[in-house]
Chains A and B, each alone.
Chain A
Amino acid sequence: MSVATRPQPATPPGREQPPVPGGARHVPEGASEQAPSSNQRRFVVGFLGSCLGLLAAILAFNVVIDPFALAGSGIVPTAVESDRSIKLDLLQHLKRGPETLILGSSRSRQAEPAFLRKLTGHSGFNAGVTGGTSADEYVFVRFAADLFPHQKRRYIWFTDVGLAGGGVLPQLAHDPRAHRYLAGGAGFGLGDVKTYLSTDATKASWRVFRKCVLSTCHSQIRYNPDGSLTNQSLRYLPEHAKSLRASVAKEIAGVRTHHETLPQARADLAQPGRFSYFERALAFMSKRGEEPVIVLNPVYPTVLAELNKYGYASRRATLEKVAALHERFRFVFVDAQDIRTWGGNDYDWTNATHINRANMRRLLRYVVAHSDGALR
């Protein structure tokens, strides 16, 4: 494929090239004209064949392996933790309904219902799931209520700044027990084709393929019947970083790169549909006369200091939203972002965003003490 540039126009005799900005204007002349057109045709065929062929092969591979559980092929286990279905199973098999339900993302998975029972005297179930969203929380609230309809429940609901969001993950939507509580279907759409053409999906597929097809794979994370992590599982949690320091440095760099203004943070919270499942869950609880305790997750001290340095607009917008929600729903709000308020320390963390079991026990003590009796 040769493209030769036309030689630059010669400088007129007796006049030196002026020191001006401005290149010679070239129009490419394809020296490939000398090449036979059959060769050029083969080049194009080779290009299109390999490009489209490779993309089709990648898409097929990712759909078959289905690492993010988008296509529902179900041939091999997914790369993402399948804890939604596991926890729905555990909840379904409980003989008596849990008096306290713990909701949230992986940050809440360290909460032990057994420890909470010592503090409150009530049984509990940990329904926190990896990457948990408002939709997950709504489904667990509804599912528990349907399983044990005549029981009023207490809730500890761990959330991040921003409170709600994340949409409906396919894993949740594909589970028939959850599907009935969710609006809309979960078909494999064009957006999923884009996802499955990506390098991230391909890397995930390859990991699954290596672990589950070339050898036998099994999940290393195990749960107790009350939804808490087994002691053995604590060693394998995917959120464990190799180094807390590196994880914190990365988080701080992220804060410096992406800090929002207050209008941006407010606009984020005002996105249509963002609070759909969050408010539905609150409305459902209110209707049943239940009062959840919403806990704002802890933030690593140096990360929090960095956020405060930039005004921490997202927290301010969140507090405004909490005040607005308080006018419509009953709930107790506990801001646990600053570990000094609940006696946490800066080494009982598994990475910059996840506290470990020791810190979680300290946090639970504080939450119970500041729940205005909602957990008693």
Chain B
Amino acid sequence: MLFNSYIFLFGFLPCVLAGWWLLPRKPLRLAFLTGASWFFYAWWDWRYLPVLIGATSVDYVAGLWIFRSEDERRRRLLLAASLTTNIGILAYFKYAGFFLDTLNGIGSGLGLPPDLATLHIVLPIGISFYTFNSMSYTIDIFRRRIEPTRHVLEYTTFVALFPHLIAGPIVRFTDLAGQLRRLTPRLTSRHAALGVFFLACGLVKKLLIADQLHPYVSRLYSNHAHLGLLTGWAAAVGYSLQLYFDFSGYSDMAVGLAWLLGFRFPQNFNSPFKAENISDFWRRWHMSLSSWFRDYLFIPLGGSRLGAKRTVANLVVTMFLAGLWHGAAWTFVVWGLVHGFFLAGHAVLRKAGLTPPWVSVNRLVTFALVSAAFVIFRSPSLRVAGHILGSMIGLNGLDNAAQIDALLPFKFGLLIAVLLAFVNVAPNTWQIRLKPRVWQGMVAGTAAAVAVMTIAQPHPFIYFQF
């Protein structure tokens, strides 16, 4: 079920809100919310619901046992069991086919017949997100940073809560533990106002901006072999903007839905295109994922405490895995590695005092690098990415009038220009400071209604595939 669908907005959501706020007791309310979230998940394909429930059960029990055990070896074993379950689920559903195909590819390159069977495994939606939610829970208990919840329904609600279940933000138990322990008893006008405001912002970003960019960007990527300098850059910048408005729109909707249920979610985007260097970019883009990798991978690897060489290696390894997290394809692996090298390069340059002092230059360079890397992220293959990156550095020359006419219509060019100005100047959703007035509510409501009118042909959120 998509957030940007009639069935969700006019069917599922009103029913869940009514049930959640009308039910009298905490266990009943949590059971209802867990059930509703599982229903939301099963709407896509009920056969994968047991995977979600299984992972939730294992991590809940593992969390309790790790906390109760004083034996360090036993604690480690329990943590390993929990991590193996989650990583095993990911490995089977997300990466098994990829690795077998790669091995077959290597084998055929060596002239061997393809012996390994090709797997056709459907990727359960949201699997990368809920396994990371769960893993952070058991790791934090192991590190004695949090105590496990004794109430199974608090945990099932934490994992399955439908606003973040499919595409994040990756919420940690510390974010929600207190809120689940003391549920908001009634829907306050503040929660409702914040909820509808974020929801409206998300709908507008997704439906009125990202989805409008989609056909132009798709056309450019389909014509990857015929792009010139200008259309190559249009493909890169157009997709960067599409991805930002799509995913930050989703995140805003998730935050808004959480507010409507009385929960506060962490921020996931903080004007990433205002970043002044690549490290700054990763502090602003998909913050819940990047902080997850920082806290559970980069810092345990030694972070930046063990010298320059080790820092570079840690950055590359972390970003390689972050790339692989996005999908089982070489494009994501290379995209992650490219960012690892960007970050390493920036760390070295900064240490040597060679980073430019001008804010606007830094922003421009960072945006250009990020957009170029997103070409690899978006392309169906490295060959296609190579074509587009080649055109961006002028290997295909300038575009002729017919190419520009067909691939870069005036409306698209204008849209890119306006959005570039917007992302560089305007405050993000979390920075907007309005004093709630009825007319502002009417403006937000009208914008949401106009967005809803474009739902007839819904496009799934880009991050649903991860």
Q: Are A and B subunits of one complex?
A: yes
**Which A residues form the contact surface with B (CB < 8 A)?**
1-5, 17-28, 30-33, 35, 37-52, 54-55, 58, 194-195, 197-200, 202, 249, 253, 256-257
Assess whether B433 is in contact with A23, with CB atoms less than 8 Å apart: no
Q: B270, B343, B347, B442: which contacts A50 (Cβ < 8 A)? A: B442
Q: B175, B315, B429: which contacts A25 (Cβ < 8 A)? A: B175
B69 at the interface (CB under 8 A from A): no
Query: Given A24-B291, A32-B193, does the pair A47, B456 have CB atoms closer than 8 Å?
Result: no
Q: How far is the CB of A189 from chain B (nearest CB, A)?
A: 13
Distance in angstroms between the alpha carbons of A21 and B430 in the assembled complex:
21
- What are 30 A-B contacts defined by CB distance under 8 Å? A1-B432, A2-B432, A4-B430, A4-B433, A17-B279, A19-B346, A20-B298, A20-B315, A21-B290, A21-B293, A21-B319, A22-B298, A24-B291, A26-B287, A28-B264, A40-B190, A41-B192, A43-B438, A43-B441, A44-B192, A46-B445, A47-B197, A49-B442, A49-B445, A50-B445, A51-B449, A54-B446, A58-B449, A199-B456, A253-B222
Distance in angstroms between the alpha carbons of A50 and B435 in the assembled complex:
18
Assess whether A21 is in contact with B318, with CB atoms less than 8 Å apart: yes
- Smallest CB-CB A-B distances: 9 pairs: A46-B441, A22-B294, A23-B287, A50-B445, A51-B445, A43-B436, A21-B282, A198-B456, A43-B441
Assess whether B192 is in contact with A40, with CB atoms less than 8 Å apart: yes
Q: A43, A51, A54: which contacts B437 (Cβ < 8 A)? A: A43
Chain A contacts of B433 at CB under 8 A? 2, 4, 31
Interface of B is mostly: helix
A-B contacts at CB below 8 angstroms, number: 228
Chain B contacts of A33 at CB under 8 A? 190
Q: How far is the CB of B423 from chain A (nearest CB, A)?
A: 17
Query: Given A37-B188, A48-B445, does the pair A23, B432 have CB atoms closer than 8 Å?
Result: no
B219 at the interface (CB under 8 A from A): yes
Chain B contacts of A195 at CB under 8 A? 456
Fill in one digit per residue for B400-431: 1 if any A CB lies within 8 Å of its CB, else 0.
Answer: 00000110000000000000000000000111
Chain B contacts of A49 at CB under 8 A? 441-442, 445
Q: A17, A30, A54: which contacts B194 (Cβ < 8 A)? A: A30
Assess whether A22 is in contact with B6, with CB atoms less than 8 Å apart: no
Q: B223, B284, B315, B443: which contacts A253 (Cβ < 8 A)? A: B223
B45 at the interface (CB under 8 A from A): no
Assess whether A39 is in contact with B287, with CB atoms less than 8 Å apart: no
Chain B contacts of A30 at CB under 8 A? 190, 194
- Please, which residue of chain A has its CB at the minimum distance from the CB of B281? A21
Assess whether A24 is in contact with B193, with CB atoms less than 8 Å apart: no
Q: B189, B279, B453: which contacts A41 (Cβ < 8 A)? A: B189
Fill in one digit per residue for B183-207: 1 if any A CB lies within 8 Å of its CB, else 0.
Answer: 0000011101110111010000000
Chain A contacts of B283 at CB under 8 A? 21-24
Assess whether A20 is in contact with B304, with CB atoms less than 8 Å apart: yes
B241 at the interface (CB under 8 A from A): no
Chain B contacts of A24 at CB under 8 A? 283, 287, 291
Q: A2, A46, A199, A249: which contacts B435 (Cβ < 8 A)? A: A2
- Please, which residue of chain A has its CB at the minimum distance from the CB of B283? A23
Assess whether B406 is in contact with A19, with CB atoms less than 8 Å apart: no
- Extra 4 A-B pairs, beta carbons < 8 Å, given A23-B270, A26-B267: A22-B294, A39-B436, A43-B441, A55-B449
